[in-house]
Amino acid sequence: MSEFWKGRRVLITGASGFLGAWLARLLLERGAEVRGFDLATGVCLAAHGLDGRLPIAHGSVLDLAALERALRDQGTEVCFHLAGQSMIEGAAAGAVAALDVNIRGTWTVLEACRRAGPLRGVVCASSNHAYGPQRTAPFAEEASMNQLDVYGASKACADILARCFATSFDMPVVAVRNVNSFGPGDPHTSHIVTGSVLALLRGEAPVIRSDGSPMKAYLHARDTMTAYLLLGEHAGEPGVRGEAFNVTPAAPVRVRDLVRTLIAVAGKAGVEPVVAATDLSQKDFFEHLSGEKLERVLGWTPTLSLEAGLADTYRWYAEHGTAWIGRGRHA
């Protein structure tokens, strides 16, 4: 394990969210001094036993002064920016708020880092979803960002802003286009893996809202966040600084096969997913990102196969249920 993070002062925006809490946990395991910046407290941190153990500055990423203060107070060396509207449906339902937090929130974080800096690294969450339809696959980082729904467009803008600040202000900023994450401590029960795990634990068949055809990649949150750590460590180096990186397993999977794999690793042979086909907005959706760049530049590959990641997730929910969600507090 790299010694880089030992004693390193790190600020995570969105630390109370699903991936932010995973990141906080992995950083604390590596000896970093971690603080969060979030509107809320607790929910996901509780899943890792970190509620009340991680200092959180409460505020909005739309508040430049509050961000700058949090960065300066801590003497932040590396900032991970994960806060925002992370749900495609949520962004569609509240477009202006989502565009505001994902776009203005990103430039506000970047500007706060510029003012409080120089920092060793700034890592911004972009998204796989920014790619949208492509002519060829797998999608390398040079592919255009074609997704024009509200969430996709907001993340494409955030991605460009991250690279803009790297170029315009010579900052060590990286944009991360990670695929769909799953794993312990995901409070978003509408996510297909979490929702399906919880259905199986209730003794019910998982329900697929689409027709099962969408092809996407899924990665355990631990693997997603080890990629963020690696990018944070090397953000200032040539070949990393100012770049965007995909974070993905080698191959995508159809949603119906994902759920069948989960059913198999959960030992629920005989259960068949219910294909509700009530949401056909992603019918025949095809997404296949290339992980070649991150492997070539920093040697990152996932450590968990899809089966192993799903088995770990199922075991965790079987043990913890959703009671941890109730333990979280909101500011």
Closest residue to ligand NAD, judged by C-beta, is 17
Q: Which is nearer to ligand NAD, 101 or 240 (CB)?
A: 101
CB of 204 closer than 8 Å to CB of 272: no
Q: Which is nearer to ligand NAD, 125 or 208 (CB)?
A: 125
At closest approach, how far in Å is the CB of 125 from ligand NAD?
A: 4
Give the C-alpha separation, 282 to 107, whole Å.
30
At closest approach, how far in Å is the CB of 216 from ligand NAD?
A: 10
Catalytic annotation, pick one of 151, 218, 228, 317: 151
At closest approach, how far in Å is the CB of 225 from ligand NAD?
A: 10
151 is catalytic: yes
Amino acid at the residue 290: S
Give the C-alpha separation, 88 to 214, whole Å.
15
At closest approach, how far in Å is the CB of 86 from ligand NAD?
A: 3
Q: Which is nearer to ligand NAD, 90 or 117 (CB)?
A: 90
Main-chain dihedrals φ then ψ at residue 42, nearest 5 degrees: 100, -55
The footprint of ligand NAD (CB under 6 A) covers 13-14, 16-20, 38-40, 60-62, 82-84, 86, 101, 105, 125, 127-128, 178, 180-181
Q: Which is nearer to ligand NAD, 40 or 197 (CB)?
A: 40
At closest approach, how far in Å is the CB of 170 from ligand NAD?
A: 24
Buried b / exposed e along 176-211 (16+ C-beta atoms within 10 A)? bbbbbbbbbbbbbeebbbbbbbebbeeeebbebbbb
Q: Which residue is listed with tokens 């994450």?
A: 181
Q: Which is nearer to ligand NAD, 16 or 210 (CB)?
A: 16
CB of 301 closer than 8 Å to CB of 295: yes
Q: Name the residues annotated as catalytic.
A: 151
